[in-house]
């Protein structure tokens, strides 16, 4: 099979995969294209978007369509590197009675990993994941363990809630970055609409809130109201 036939076969498979994902994820065609681009190019993806936009469903759907193993990690401030890459535990060998170290694999030993809210974990845990992303291997106790191939990381970041977060290093920012927003033609059903606000109070917009603009402050240095 020559290169032209390979490209035609890949184009056909890519179209079928994109259409299959679009049956589950509605109105996020641009995000799907960006995610598949990062996946097929052997890179990783940083998805920036507010909660509730089906990021977990998107990644799990891609894994199911490709018949790949999927894992999800919710990053928290108390998450340690060993919780990501794995750790060694001391166990007793029942046959000899000697105590030996056994390596317990972490969630990075998968094909598709969703790193949810990656900026909520300390830099040392971010660095442990970065090593796995760049070198496709982890080192524990002087031993190197190869990751499963293919290995794809989709990290998410909430652009609204930045309190208690840790800025990502530049090496993470090099990841394929795309933004996940509500579709422009999206009209929420009646049961999703906000309750009426008191008279004279303007309700906040639930669609695509502005990013990076703090609330105005009074001349006394206190928040208004």
3-state secondary structure the chain: CCHHHHHHHHHHHHHHHHHHHHHHCCCCHHHHHHHHHHHHCCCCEEEECCCCCCHHHHHHHHHHHCCCCEEEEECCCCCCHHHHHEEEEEEECCCCCCEEEEEEECCCCCCEEEEECHHHCCHHHHHHHHHHHHHCEEEECCEEEECCCCCEEEEEECCCCCCCCCCCCHHHHCCEEEECCCCCCCCCCHHHCCCCCCCCCCCCCCCCCCCCCCCCCCCCCCCCC
Q: Which two tokens stand for residue 177?
A: 């970055």
pLDDT for residue 87: 85
Gyration radius of the chain's alpha carbons:
22
| pLDDT band with cut points at 50, 70 and 90 for residue 192 | very low
Closest by Cα among 22, 26, 25 to 14: 22
Residue with tokens 């076969």: 9
**Cβ atoms < 10 Å from Cβ of 84:** 23
Residue-wise pLDDT tens digits, 18-45: 888 888 888 888 888 888 888 888 888 8
C-alpha pair distances (Å), 119 with each of 45, 81, 126, 159: 14, 14, 8, 10
| pLDDT band with cut points at 50, 70 and 90 for residue 109 | very high
CATH for 6-179?
3.40.50.300
Residue 5 scores a pLDDT above 50: yes
| pLDDT band with cut points at 50, 70 and 90 for residue 208 | very low
- pTM recorded for the entire structure: 0.68
| pLDDT band with cut points at 50, 70 and 90 for residue 191 | very low
Query: What span, in angstroms and rounded, lies between the C-alpha atoms of 35 and 62?
Result: 9
Contact (Cβ atoms closer than 8 angstroms) between residue 70 and residue 111: yes
Residue 207 scores a pLDDT above 70: no
pLDDT above 70 covers a percentage of the chain that reads 74
Query: What span, in angstroms and rounded, lies between the C-alpha atoms of 170 and 46?
Result: 12
pLDDT for residue 169: 67
Mean pLDDT, range 46-53, rounded to an integer: 78
Residue-wise pLDDT tens digits, 133-187: 888 888 887 888 899 888 988 888 877 777 777 777 665 555 555 544 444 544 4
Burial class of residue 172 in the structure, from the number of CB atoms within 10 Å of its CB (0-12 exposed, 13-18 middle, 19+ buried): buried
pLDDT above 90 covers a percentage of the chain that reads 2
Residue-wise pLDDT tens digits, 112-147: 998 888 888 888 888 888 888 888 888 887 888 899
Query: What span, in angstroms and rounded, lies between the C-alpha atoms of 21 and 35?
Result: 11
């Amino acid at each position: 099979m020559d290169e032209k036939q390979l490209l035609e076969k890949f184009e056909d498979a890519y179209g079928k995969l994109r259409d299959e994902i679009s049956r589950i994820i509605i109105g996020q065609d641009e995000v799907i294209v960006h995610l598949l681009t990062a996946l097929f190019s052997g890179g990783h993806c940083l998805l920036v978007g507010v909660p509730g936009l089906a990021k977990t469903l998107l990644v799990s759907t891609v894994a199911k369509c490709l018949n790949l193993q999927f894992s999800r990690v919710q990053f928290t401030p108390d998450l340690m590197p060993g919780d990501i890459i794995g750790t060694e535990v001391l166990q007793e060998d029942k046959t000899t009675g000697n105590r030996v170290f056994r390596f317990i694999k972490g969630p990075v030993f998968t094909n598709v990993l969703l790193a949810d809210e990656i900026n909520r974990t300390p830099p040392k845990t971010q660095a442990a994941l970065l090593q796995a992303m760049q070198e496709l291997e982890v080192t524990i106790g002087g031993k190197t363990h190869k990751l499963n191939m293919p290995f794809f990381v989709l990290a998410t970041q909430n652009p609204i809630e930045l309190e208690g977060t840790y800025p990502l290093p530049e090496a993470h920012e090099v990841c394929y970055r795309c933004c996940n927003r509500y579709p422009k033609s999206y009209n929420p059903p009646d049961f999703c609409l906000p309750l009426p606000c008191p008279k004279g109070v303007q309700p906040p917009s639930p669609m695509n809130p502005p990013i990076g603009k703090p609330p105005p402050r009074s001349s006394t240095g206190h928040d208004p109201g």
